[in-house]
Amino acid sequence: MRDAYIVTAVRTPGCKSARGTFKDTRPEDLLSFIVSAAVERTPNIEKKDVEDFAIGCAFPEAEQGLNIGRVGAQIAGFPDETSGFTINRLCSSGLEAIAGATLRVRAGWSEIVIAGGVESMTMVPMAGNLPRPHPEYSKIHAALWGNMGNTAETVATRYNISRQAQDEFAYKSHMKATEALNKKLFKEIVPTPAVKYVMQKDGTYKKETFIIDYDDGIRPETTVEGLAKLRAVFSVGGTVTAGNSSQTTDAAGAAVIMSEDKVKELGIKPLAKVKCYTTVGCRADEMGVGPKYAIPKLLKIAGVDLKEVGLFEINEAFASQALYCIQELGIDMAKVNIHGGAIALGHPLGATGAKLTATLLSNMREKGVKYGVESMCVGGGMGAAALFELCD
């Protein structure tokens, strides 16, 4: 198989659902904007050159329904000939899209594909608008449909992750994100239009657009003491709180993936390539441990030692599961989520994989790191992981 390269990887800011800056911005508009921005930031290509879209979305219904991969491309002004599809592997949907698009290009089926993800957790709630668990099977395997917070409590209890450790982890996430924000280190963010509706004197509402260029869930004022005062939300006497869990978020991300022949033809300097991608299943009631299994499997397939990996983006769905996986694998904490993670920056489900790819590649370039790993737990009891190699 031939080589395929990521030549551009960008994201919108991540904004708090229901209360954040994107609460009135439709997901199709977030997606159409970021894919257009990806093309604009890629030298020597136009929208007509993109053959297909692979877009991750965890709950592709309502505003995100009817194949948002195709709808987003059309709203963005890509020609009718540019096709598009939507893929769902819950929390790893955006990364699944990037991996799948890479394989498509490597196989010679396409020359240029845009892959990414989108989620409006404001407009489409967790579990969707009309969840219908299987009436018999859900009685014996409830964790497949259960609240992810309960699985985080299970991990904390089963593997002795203390409340204090979780709160300290959450605090550090906010502090790293605050420092990165102040130093303008989120170079992968594209300032993005947001919508708000302003009441007029006659009682009608006027749609107004403004620009946001930062993740609005970062809390610089966070303290360990303040986090310790929060009550557990998933279990009486538990340890998982809103403060040491990821924020529900609205966001989108996109990457332009191109064949080696096309890179050479257009004279483009590629950013990185997907060296390997894998998934693995685990017990649904402790789905958060997924990265513990996915990362070793990934590195074994790729023939790369853990010590060779310079940076990690491990999704902070919950402090309990992220902390457990990092400790079990013996990963140097200084290499993990160096600009903060989902506890501070948000977890926009189907967009997270694309969001983390943009962040990881930006940080790899900043630090001159050859190998970077992105990993996350996945609802239903899975883990996903990808190995990226920075191009010289």
* Per-residue confidence (pLDDT) for residue 59, from 0 to 100: 98
Q: Is 134 a catalytic residue?
A: no
Q: Is the pLDDT of residue 342 over 90?
A: yes
- pLDDT value of residue 341: 98
In this predicted structure, the answer to whether residue 114 has a pLDDT above a threshold of 90 is: yes
- 173 closest CA partner among 360, 309, 316: 316
Q: Hey, CA dihedral for 360, 361, 362, 363, is it positive or negative?
A: positive
What pLDDT is attached to residue 166? 98
State pLDDT tens for residues 235-273: 999 999 999 999 999 999 999 999 999 999 999 999 999
Residue type, 193: P
Q: Is the pLDDT of residue 392 over 90?
A: no
> Looking at 15, 91, 276, 325, which residue is catalytic?
91
Q: How confident is the model at residue 218 (pLDDT cuts 50, 70, 90)?
A: very high
d(CA 79, CA 112): 14
What is the arithmetic mean of pLDDT over 180-208?
A: 97
Q: What is the pLDDT of residues 33-60, one digit of tens each?
A: 999 999 999 999 999 999 999 999 999 9
Catalytic residue among 276, 282, 325, 377: 377
Catalytic residue among 15, 282, 339, 347: 347
Residue 347 appears among annotated catalytic residues: yes
- Torsion, CA 130, CA 145, CA 22, CA 202, rounded to 10: 30
Give the confidence band of 1 by pLDDT, cuts at 50, 70, 90. confident
How many whole angstroms separate alpha carbon 51 and alpha carbon 251? 24
What confidence category does residue 22 fall into, taking pLDDT thresholds of 50, 70 and 90? very high
- Is 282 among the catalytic positions? no
